[in-house]
Chain A
């Protein structure tokens, strides 16, 4: 049996909330014993109301958040990212299989789109070449191919902060392609974009998934986008997975249970049956 791309076992995350005025110091359980596996390169949408734990789960998978000590383990391509509230010793190695895309693109604004995408090589080159950005001819060509694949090769020399949101998000996807990531973690990648650009970015994620066989886990506020562009949906409520199944199997009643009064805000372009 082939190795799963992502394994999340019994993960919990508790935040400490600082005292604020009359409110005393407290804790918030953002994830509560969450488990799931991505066995093949599929497109998984993480949905749920605000504060349900979607972004926390995604950042935990990326090793950007450290889970509770009572947690189980997170593995990507068989390599541990974190276990029992401690980052794995070779987390850098494990992260090389993960491409991360964020709502605010996380590109370095003053660097060109080319340099930003080339940073995808960082995990693979030795210290000095990475320090000075001395990319080989093949590495430079790989960057240009990735930028071309996502449709922004003509913007390679432009500073990232002079580009539109959609172009920057494409640059972030190109960086993940350069990285040769096996799984892309996208944290609300379309939340800052207009609907037309948002659709194009989602279509690009579908393309990367189907053509390059890269698994995609994407947090989305828009249920219609989750149903339209993803194969599988994981719905979270109060840090617990309340639905894990095919996108088509998510009923309106289940959605009402998950979102409650927020249900109307969960659609961007109208309900999808």
Chain B
């Protein structure tokens, strides 16, 4: 090979081996994104009073009193705490099960590979509304309708979770393999058969996993719902906080953490077996 030909070949190889270049537009989007984030942080610094962070240290006497009582939890009323925690878990169980029952048909209406586009749009917007209203706000509304007590909490969790689960369930439905569905159709099965035998078996593990995840979240949310009078451990927590009884508050917090952690472990174990 001549020297010129060899040099041409070398430059060709270099051209072939040149690392990929990031386009100008792509770089602009990346740097622009970072710039927007920085501007947002700077402009909101004052609004959220980040300048007062020093109070955490200058008010240390108050913090020390709080911590001292928290480190000596008072479990004298533990039976009541466990009872109330169990009620909170029952609120979460009912809230989740009702939401799953409502989310299944609604998710099919939200799935673009199952329902016509105009129904999909209506169903999805309805689910957006359910998701965007926080459980606490829904709980307040249901307190007016059904009065103080756990039922308001159950209904609030059920409705909010329906919005969340219908969205997650419908995304799972949209990602299915259509071949088994075609297999069912080819046997002469009707549309309902296609869903029951072709779609449900494919999405069942993911749906169960999502439902368990929402159960974990509901157990935490049900605790907070107690603050507005929806019963359970949250109500006892709120009462003790209002009377500045931090030792009892600490005991309640420990019961909540232990229960929520146990639920997390349990649902994680079930999810692992399913997936």
Question: Interface of A with B (CB < 8 Å)?
Answer: 62, 64, 92-93, 95-96, 98-100, 102, 104-111, 119-120, 122-124, 127, 130-131, 133, 172, 175, 179
Interface size in chain B (residues, C-beta < 8 A)? 20
Cβ of B186: which chain A residues have Cβ within 8 Å of it? 62, 64, 95, 98-100, 106
Residue ID in chain B nearest A62 by CB atoms: B186
- The answer to whether B190 touches A127 (Cβ under 8 A) is yes
* Contact, CB under 8 Å: B187 / A123: yes
Complex Cα distance, B185 from A205, in Å, reads 21
- Taking the closest CB of chain A, its distance from the CB of B84, in whole angstroms, is 40
15 A-B pairs besides A92-B190, A107-B183 with CB distance below 8 A are A62-B186, A100-B186, A105-B183, A109-B202, A110-B201, A119-B184, A119-B189, A119-B197, A122-B187, A122-B189, A122-B197, A130-B190, A131-B193, A133-B197, A172-B183
A124 to B188, CA, bound (A): 8
In the complex, B198 has a CB within 8 A of chain A = yes
Q: Main SS of chain B's interface residues?
A: helix
Q: Closest B residue to A93 by CB, please name it.
A: B188
Do the beta carbons of A110 and B204 come within 8 Å of each other? Answer: yes
The docked-state distance in angstroms from the alpha carbon of A205 to that of B10 is 58
A-B contact pairs, 21 of them (CB 8 A): A64-B186, A92-B190, A95-B186, A100-B182, A100-B186, A106-B179, A108-B180, A108-B183, A108-B184, A108-B197, A108-B201, A109-B202, A110-B201, A119-B197, A122-B188, A122-B190, A122-B193, A127-B190, A130-B190, A172-B183, A179-B187
Beyond A106-B182, A107-B180, A131-B193, is A92–B201 a contact (Cβ under 8 Å)?
no
- In the assembled complex, the Cα of A201 lies from the Cα of B239 at a distance in Å of 72
Q: B201 CB to closest chain A CB, in angstroms?
A: 5
Residues of B within 8 A of A179 (CB): 187-188
Q: Contact partner of A95 among B187, B192, B198, B204, CB < 8 A?
A: B187
When chains A and B are docked, how far (Å) is the Cα of A108 from the Cα of B180?
5
Is B266 part of the contact surface with A, judged by Cβ < 8 Å? no
Bound: A110/B204 CA distance, A? 9
Given A108-B201, A122-B197, A131-B196, A102-B189 contact (CB < 8 Å)? no
User: In the complex the two chains form, is B180's CB within 8 Å of A109's CB?
Assistant: yes
